[in-house]
């Protein structure tokens, strides 16, 4: 229906719109109570920025247009636009609040919304990351106003630390880090680098021999070009495959540790104990578990009981891929038709990327007002 909007029938007109406006106003009053600066990033963002961050995959999720010859995208969320705004002109430390629409492309026939509202709060500040994580989760929880939700938290810093601890090549680690947010591809890479390594090397024996003998340019010249890759790109890809083939396979124990880590879920304190056992003898992972424990203590100081939190080590792996630490979601109780009514996390690395090497620790969270109104009836 024309009057409907994301998750909310009749939300674009009359009483339905008035109710949504009242709820959005209440949420924003809570978020602004911190004294944070209100910001309104541009709806159109340079496509090259999002393409550099996410690659061509983002085209399947964002609406693309052109302006004076340059590609532009309707913002798929607020975080990247706000980081751009902050890194360009913001003072530090800083806190921002905002609200407005975001847009996501969907597959043909999908019932998922293509436009919906977000209201959010972002913190750019060094110092105690656990305290700032707790500040964001506490404020977002307050803004939900007692809605029937179950809080779920995770920590992408754990799997990133486990990758850093692998005794393998930098190229493999980079590939695994790049695909953390694509679970199917990530676990396929673990198999390729581990148990399937010998079989893959055998299947590529002729190509690897050609690379070793310097015959790759000859093979390229004799072949027929398919696709857009030029001869130099093809040769570079073959060289990469040869380097990979010469790298010893990942030990089964290291692969098993990552798989076991990503499977951890349950009540937060129990999950920490399980993670402690997995981190034994792995300093990078042990340090990440220390950070998780400090965060849970900060949550408790904010009145968020760790024993009431569900922890899922894989939580957040299918979101836009900039989170690199704490992640959370407020899951609507008994409403599987709704998305998380709030979500967020830490994205320190993103500030360094968009700040061209100049970064600042950052964490934030968003609320979906339409989903919250629909949940509360």
Q: How confident is the model at residue 321 (pLDDT cuts 50, 70, 90)?
A: confident
Domain range summary for the chain, segments of one domain joined by +: 14-41+78-163+257-376, 196-248
Q: What is the CATH T-level fold of the domain 14-41+78-163+257-376, as seen in this structure?
A: BirA Bifunctional Protein; domain 2 (3.30.930)
Q: What is the pLDDT of residue 226?
A: 59
Q: In sequence order, what are the residues at sequence separation of 6 or more whose Cβ sits closer than 8 angstroms to the Cβ of residue 162? A: 257, 258, 261, 282, 284, 285, 288
Helix spans in the chain (H): 14-32, 47-54, 79-89, 129-143, 156-164, 170-178, 183-193, 197-203, 205-212, 216-222, 231-246, 252-262, 268-278, 283-301, 348-354, 369-376
Evaluate if residue 299 carries a pLDDT over 70: yes
d(CA 62, CA 42): 15
Per-residue confidence (pLDDT) for residue 27, from 0 to 100: 98
Q: Is the model's pTM score more than 0.75?
A: yes
Residue 222: the pLDDT is 67
Alpha-carbon span 332 to 374, nearest angstrom:
10
Stretch 281-287: mean pLDDT: 96
Tens of pLDDT, residues 103-137 = 999 888 888 899 999 999 999 999 999 999 999 99
pLDDT in tens, 130-186: 999 999 999 999 999 999 999 999 999 999 999 999 999 999 999 999 899 889 999
């Amino acid at each position: 229906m024309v009057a409907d909007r994301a998750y909310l029938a009749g939300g674009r007109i009359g009483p339905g719109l008035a109710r949504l406006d009242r709820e959005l106003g209440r949420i924003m009053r809570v978020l602004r109570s911190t004294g944070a600066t209100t910001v309104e990033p541009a709806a159109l963002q340079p496509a090259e920025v999002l393409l550099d961050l996410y690659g061509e995959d983002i085209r399947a999720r964002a609406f693309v247009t052109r302006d004076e010859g340059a590609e532009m995208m309707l913002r798929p969320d607020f975080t990247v636009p706000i980081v751009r705004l902050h890194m360009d002109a913001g003072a530090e430390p800083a806190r921002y609040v905002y609200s407005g629409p975001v847009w996501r492309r969907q597959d043909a026939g999908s019932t998922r919304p293509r436009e919906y509202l977000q209201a959010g709060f972002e913190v750019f500040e060094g110092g105690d990351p656990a305290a700032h994580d707790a500040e964001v989760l506490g404020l977002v929880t307050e803004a939900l106003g007692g809605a029937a939700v179950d809080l779920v938290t995770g920590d992408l810093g754990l799997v990133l630390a486990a990758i850093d601890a692998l005794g393998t090549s930098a190229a493999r680690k980079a590939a695994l880090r790049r695909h953390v947010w694509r679970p199917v591809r990530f676990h396929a890479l673990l198999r390729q680098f581990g148990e399937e390594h010998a079989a893959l090397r055998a299947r590529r024996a002729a190509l690897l021999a050609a690379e070793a003998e310097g015959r790759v340019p000859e093979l390229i010249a004799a072949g027929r070009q398919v696709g857009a890759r030029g001869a130099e790109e093809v040769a570079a890809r073959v060289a990469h495959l040869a380097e990979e083939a010469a790298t010893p396979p990942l030990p089964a124990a290291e692969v098993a540790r990552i798989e076991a880590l990503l499977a951890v879920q349950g009540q937060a304190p129990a999950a920490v104990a399980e993670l402690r056992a997995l981190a034994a003898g792995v300093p990078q992972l042990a340090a990440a578990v220390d950070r998780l424990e400090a965060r849970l203590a900060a949550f408790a100081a904010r009145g968020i009981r760790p024993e009431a939190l569900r922890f899922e080590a894989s939580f957040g792996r299918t979101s836009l891929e900039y989170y690199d630490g704490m992640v959370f979601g407020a899951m609507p109780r008994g409403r599987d038709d709704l998305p998380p009514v709030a979500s967020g996390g830490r994205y320190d690395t993103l500030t360094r990327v968009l700040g061209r090497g100049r970064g600042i620790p950052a964490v934030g969270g968003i609320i979906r007002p339409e989903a919250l109104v629909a949940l509360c009836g």
